[in-house]
Amino acid sequence: MESINNFYKRDVDNELLIGTYMFPYILFDGFQYDNLYSATEIIAEIIVEDEKILITRNGGLFIKPHEGFIDILRTQEFLVDDIKEKIQFEDKFVKYSNRVVCEFCFAGTISEPVTQVHVSRAGLIGNHALITSGGGGREAYYYRTMYPSSQLRDGSWLSNRIVSIEELSQVIRLGYTSQLLKISNNLPEFIASAYYNYSTQNFGEALLSSWIIVEQIIDFLWRRYVKELNNSKREDRLRDTRTYSSSVRIEVLFMAGKLSLQEYEIFQKARKNRNDLAHRALISLDWATEGMTAMKLAIEHIINADIAEPATARGIVW
């Protein structure tokens, strides 16, 4: 009989995966309320460069290690080089997972970015995957590894947010995130961080992350503008960031018609807010909101499409 208990049995033949979970936890619709095993079903595959990311109905992100890797729980033979290769593979999984998380944020489903401490081994049985254990160093971070399986066992999984499976049609393409990779491979992580920290009201982190995105996009637009001048000597001078700071670049791009008035005004506000945070340790909800708005407009300028509005709640529940 199909059951999550099979993932805990030593004598069950299951394949090795590594993975993590979206956080806050989610459930894609289509699960069976009276069948918790249905939550572990793999419902989508996303091709990210040379790898395949698997998504389960309860928001799990998984990848299958290459056949050359040794499963240390099933053999006593492993080498230092094997550990190094596994760390490199895990780093790649983290980077690729953050592209998926970023695309979810654009669709309106927010998740904390993935790091290595959120990754653990998992089992694959048929078309179902589940993490049943976790680890860590000085601190252990189980909430994105073994806790979702605990939720299934105690019944609390049904309290998670339900997301339409139709959202996956946008995420699978990675259409918006892929356009941003030409600016920097690290943008997806910072974008997810900005959305998540703003949602959880870590306003300083949200402002810093959002400004990193804005500044990178301003730099991209500036380099493209300078190249259009078709004058190598001018290009060399205009690339001097000491003279042509972000503030000056915003002014010039606006006067050259490369930025709208709305973009110009919010970019300058976000820049000032970031400077006041960095140099005076000042922060507020309004400043973080302006930073997130600037980030949203900057991204939309590049992808030429609307993305989800950043949101946070200041309600009282006591």
> Rounded to an integer, what distance in angstroms lies between the CA atom of residue 217 and that of residue 301?
9
CATH architecture of 179-303: Up-down Bundle (1.20)
Q: Which residue has the tokens 């970015």?
A: 113
- Are the C-beta atoms of 194 and 295 separated by less than 8 Å? yes
Using only C-alpha atoms, what is the Rg of the chain?
22
Chain centroid to Cα 155, Å, comes to: 28
pLDDT at 177: 98
Q: Which residue has the tokens 């006067």?
A: 255
Chain centroid to Cα 34, Å, comes to: 31
- Per residue of the chain (318 residues), what is the pLDDT tens digit? 468 888 988 766 788 999 999 999 999 999 999 999 999 999 999 999 999 999 999 999 999 998 877 776 656 565 667 888 999 999 999 999 999 999 999 999 999 999 999 999 999 999 999 999 888 778 889 999 999 999 999 999 999 999 999 999 999 999 999 999 999 999 999 999 999 999 999 999 999 999 999 999 999 999 999 988 877 667 667 776 777 899 999 999 999 999 999 999 999 999 999 999 999 999 999 999 999 999 999 999 999 999 999 999 988 888
- What is the DSSP code string of 288-312? HHHHHHHHHHHHHHHH-S--PPP--
Residues 6+ apart with CB under 8 A from 33: 158
- In the numeric block, which tokens belong to residue 85? 């290769």
pLDDT at 103: 98
pLDDT tens for residues 62-116?
A: 999 988 777 766 565 656 678 889 999 999 999 999 999 999 999 999 999 999 9
pLDDT at 279: 96
For the sheet with 120-125, list strands across it.
42-48, 51-56, 60-63, 15-21, 120-125, 128-130
pLDDT tens for residues 240-278?
A: 677 789 999 999 999 999 999 999 999 999 999 999 999
Cβ atoms < 10 Å from Cβ of 192: 27
Secondary structure element (H or E) that encloses residue 162, with its range: strand 161-163
> Rounded to an integer, what distance in angstroms lies between the CA atom of residue 36 and that of residue 19?
19
User: Helix, strand, or coil here: 268?
Assistant: helix
Chain centroid to Cα 167, Å, comes to: 16
- Quick one: 191 exposed, middle or buried, by C-beta within 10 A (0-12, 13-18, 19+)? buried
> Rounded to an integer, what distance in angstroms lies between the CA atom of residue 147 and that of residue 132?
8
Task: Return residue ranges of the chain for CATH 1.20.120.
Answer: 179-303
